[in-house]
Amino acid sequence: MLDGAVSEWLFASGFWNRINYSLGTMFDQFEEDEGEPAVLVRIASELEIWVGSLESQGEEKVRFVCGWSPTGDAHTVEVQRTDLISQLIMLRSLLASAAANRNVLEFSL
The predicted-structure confidence for 13-67, as pLDDT tens digits, reads as follows 999 999 999 998 888 877 778 899 999 999 999 999 999 999 999 899 999 998 8
Taking the C-alpha atoms of residue 82 and residue 5, their distance in angstroms, rounded to an integer, is 13
Q: What is the largest CA-CA distance in the chain?
A: 48
- Give residue 58's pLDDT: 86
Each residue of 71-99: pLDDT tens digit? Answer: 999 999 999 999 999 999 999 999 999 99
The Cα–Cα gap between 31 and 53 comes to: 27
Asked whether 97 and 27 are in contact (CB, 8 A), the reply is no
pLDDT at 28 (0 to 100): 80
